[in-house]
Amino acid sequence: MTKITVITVVRNGEKTLEPTMLSVLNQTYGSIEYIVVDGASTDGTVGIIKRYDERIKNGEFPNIMFRWMSEPDKGIYDAMNKGIDLATGEWINFMNSNDIFYNEFVLKTLFDDKKYLPEISLLYGHTLLQNSKRLYLQKTKLISAKDPMPFCHQAVFVRTATMQEMKFDTNYKIMADRGLFYRLYFAGSKGHYVDAAISVVQKYGYSNRSITKSRTELNAILRSYSMITPLMATLYLIYAAVKDFTNKCWRKICKKNLT
């Protein structure tokens, strides 16, 4: 049976980590390596990890091989790279704190009694975006030169050998995942599309913290592959700055109306 590695990166996630861990631990697939990389949390996160570590050691989740670490890191992608270094499964998925698998059968559906061609480096599918109590299906398009990353990273599995060769470029603080998949595409990596929901993620995640910073990094990635001109990059940055400013004003108005 193919061993699958799932990596969760977290820091100060005592309110969000447990559902993520349970979505991995309750998978019905028979061979899962689960790695949690904690960034030296100062809240109750480590206590949650230790509690489930003990439950796994007591045999409650016999299909799980569990490892975890807690130490300072240089950002989310540095922590994700640490998880990659520890991985021993054939495929890696990142299900970070506050995200979950669509259901307990995701890994079984994708990997039970299935063999993928050696040239396939990526398996990817759909994501449900969660906004308050509502879910929105985000159907994934096929990988193309126009968009080598049409999926959320929570909805993709990458061969471990490929990830350990490439890793995330930590010079990018927000868009390193997109940078990775652009590099994989232009290096000739092949993907396999799965018409199924894989993950449920928060609508406003890490890359939405600053539209301007995200766009700056994305522009750098696109320009490195000659996919946009300097003029287009400038126009996109102006648009992002205006959108950032508008969002900040709107949040202030909503906050004022609530007080």
Predicted confidence at residue 255, as pLDDT, reads 52
Give the H/E segment covering residue 234: helix 230-258
Structural domains counted in the chain: 2
- Do residues 228 and 237 touch, judged by C-beta distance below 8 A? no
**pLDDT digits over 201-242, tens only?**
986 555 555 677 887 888 788 887 777 677 766 775 675 667
- Residue 172: is its pLDDT beyond 70? yes
Identify the pLDDT of residue 137: 87
Would you call 174 helix, strand, or coil by DSSP? coil
pLDDT of 142 reads: 92
Are 164 and 71 within one domain? Answer: yes
Domain hosting residue 239, numbered range? 210-259
Q: 195: buried, middle or exposed (CB in 10 Å: 19+, 13-18, 0-12)?
A: exposed
Considering the chain, what percentage of its residues have pLDDT values greater than 90? 67
Q: Mean per-residue pLDDT for 165-169? A: 94
The whole-model pTM stands at 0.86
What is the arithmetic mean of pLDDT over 8-24? 97
Q: What is the pLDDT of residue 209?
A: 55
Residues paired with 201 in a beta bridge: 129
- What is the model's pLDDT at position 238? 76
Same domain, 75 and 106: yes
143 and 230 belong to one structural domain: no
**Same domain, yes or no: 193 and 122:** yes
How confident is the model over 32-40, as a mean pLDDT? 98
Question: Which whole number is the average pLDDT over 166-195?
Answer: 93
- Predicted confidence band at 200 (pLDDT cuts at 50, 70, 90)? very high
User: Does 79 share its domain with 196?
Assistant: yes
Pick from 133-142, 168-177, 181-190, 199-208: least confident: 199-208
> So what's the pLDDT on residue 134?
78
User: Which carries the bigger pLDDT value, residue 144 or residue 101?
Assistant: 101
Whether 23 and 127 map to the same domain: the answer is yes
Helical residues (DSSP H) of 26-111, grouped into ranges: 45-57, 76-86, 106-111
Confidence at residue 229, expressed as pLDDT on a 0 to 100 scale: 72
Q: Token match 């287009």: residue?
A: 232
- Ranking 1-5, 21-25, 212-216, 246-250 by mean pLDDT, the lowest is 246-250
Determine the Cα–Cα distance for residues 157 and 153; give it in Å rounded to an integer: 8
Instruction: Check residue 233 and give its pLDDT.
Output: 62
Q: Are 144 and 224 members of one domain?
A: no
- The answer to whether residues 197 and 225 belong to one domain is no
Q: Helix, strand or coil for residue 155?
A: helix
Tell me what pLDDT residue 105 has. Answer: 97
Phi then psi for 82, rounded to 5 degrees? Answer: -60, -40
Query: Is the confidence at residue 197, as pLDDT, over 90?
Result: yes
In tens, the pLDDT along 91-105 reads 999 999 999 999 999
As a whole number of angstroms, the distance between CA 247 and CA 259 comes to 19
Please compute the mean of the pLDDT values over residues 163-169 and round it to a whole number: 95
What mean pLDDT comes out for the span 37-58? 97
Among 187, 207, 227, give the residue marking a domain's end: 207
Whether residues 18 and 29 fall in one domain = yes
Average confidence score pLDDT of the chain: 88
Q: What is the pLDDT of residue 213?
A: 84
